[in-house]
Amino acid sequence: KRHAPIIFTDDNNQLQRSFPPMTQADLLEHSENLFQSCSERSIATQVGREACLSLCHGHYCCFEKDVEFGSCVATPNSYCFVYAACENVIMDFGFTNINLEDGSTKGKNEGGSVDVDGLNREDLELLDATCSKESVATLDGIRDCNAFCQHHLCCFSSDEGENCQGDHVEECEAYESCRIIAEGPEGEESGGGGGSGGSGSNVSGGGGSITVTPEQVEKAVFDACYFGNDESKVTPRLVSECHSICSSRYCCFESQTMFSNCRGIVGDDECELYSLCEQMINERGEEVKNFIELDEKEFDTGDSSSSNNGVDSGTSYRPGSNGGFIDESEFEATVNEVKAACAHDESGGESWVAGCHAMCADYLCCFSTDGTGSNCKDVHGDDVCEAYSGCKVLYSSSSASKLPFDSQQQQPQQQQQQQQMSAQDKEQVQIDEMTETCVPKIRRDVDLRERCRNVCASRDCCWKDGPGNCYQMNTDWCEEFSLCEILVV
Residue 182 located in a structural domain: yes
- Do residues 88 and 151 touch, judged by C-beta distance below 8 A? no
Q: Would you mind telling me the total number of residues written for the chain in this entry?
A: 489
What per-residue confidence (pLDDT) applies to 206?
37
Residue 212 located in a structural domain: no
CA distance 40 to 60: 18
What per-residue confidence (pLDDT) applies to 96?
59
Of 299, 333, 359, the residue that ends a domain is: 299
Residue 471 located in a structural domain: yes
Of 299, 319, 347, the residue that ends a domain is: 299
* pLDDT digit string (tens) for the chain, length 489 residues: 344 444 444 445 444 455 667 787 888 888 888 888 888 888 888 888 888 888 888 788 888 777 666 677 777 777 888 888 888 877 767 665 665 554 444 443 443 333 445 567 788 888 888 888 877 766 667 777 877 887 788 888 877 877 888 888 888 888 898 888 777 555 333 333 333 333 444 443 333 444 567 888 888 889 889 988 888 888 877 887 888 788 778 888 888 887 777 787 778 888 899 999 999 998 888 888 788 888 888 887 554 333 333 333 333 334 433 345 656 777 888 888 888 888 865 554 555 676 777 677 767 767 665 333 345 666 567 788 888 888 877 765 544 443 333 333 344 444 444 444 555 677 788 888 888 888 887 877 788 888 888 888 888 778 776 656 677 666 777 888 888 888 876
CA distance 266 to 281: 19
How many other C-beta atoms lie within 10 A of the C-beta of residue 329?
Answer: 13
Residue 415 located in a structural domain: no
In a shared domain, residues 171 and 255:
no
DSSP state of 384: H
- Do residues 210 and 148 touch, judged by C-beta distance below 8 A? no
Among 253, 268, 272, 171, CA closest to 215: 272
CA distance 425 to 407: 20
CA distance 112 to 110: 5
What is the value of pTM for the model shown? 0.36
In a shared domain, residues 456 and 326:
no
Q: Using CB atoms within 10 A of its CB, is residue 21 exposed (0-12), middle (13-18) or buried (19+)? A: exposed
Residue 1 located in a structural domain: no
In a shared domain, residues 430 and 403:
no
- Do residues 359 and 341 touch, judged by C-beta distance below 8 A? yes
Q: Which domain holds residue 226?
A: 219-299
In a shared domain, residues 386 and 489:
no
In a shared domain, residues 325 and 342:
yes
Residues 214-242 as b/e (b if ≥16 CB within 10 A, e otherwise) read: bebbbebbeebbebeeeeeebbbebbebb
Number of domains in the chain: 4
In a shared domain, residues 394 and 453:
no
Phi-psi region at 317: left, alpha or beta (left = phi > 0; alpha = psi -120 to 50): beta
Residue 213 located in a structural domain: no
3-state secondary structure 392-437: HHHHHCHHHHCCCCCCCCCCHHHHHHHHCCCHHHHHHHHHHHHHHH
In a shared domain, residues 396 and 431:
no
CA distance 203 to 324: 44
In a shared domain, residues 312 and 396:
yes
In a shared domain, residues 61 and 142:
yes
In a shared domain, residues 189 and 227:
no
Residues β-bridged to residue 142:
none
In a shared domain, residues 129 and 269:
no
Query: Could you tell me how far CA 432 lies from the centroid of its own chain?
Result: 23
- Do residues 217 and 142 touch, judged by C-beta distance below 8 A? no
Residues β-bridged to residue 287:
281
Phi-psi region at 228: left, alpha or beta (left = phi > 0; alpha = psi -120 to 50): left
In a shared domain, residues 402 and 425:
no
Residue 414 located in a structural domain: no
- Do residues 36 and 43 touch, judged by C-beta distance below 8 A? no
Element of type H or E holding 201: strand 201-202
The CA angle 403-442-228, to the nearest 5 degrees, is: 160
Of 409, 431, 450, the residue that ends a domain is: 409
- Do residues 124 and 116 touch, judged by C-beta distance below 8 A? yes
Among 294, 465, 451, CA closest to 379: 465
DSSP state of 25: H
The CA angle 174-175-181, to the nearest 5 degrees, is: 165
- Do residues 142 and 210 touch, judged by C-beta distance below 8 A? yes
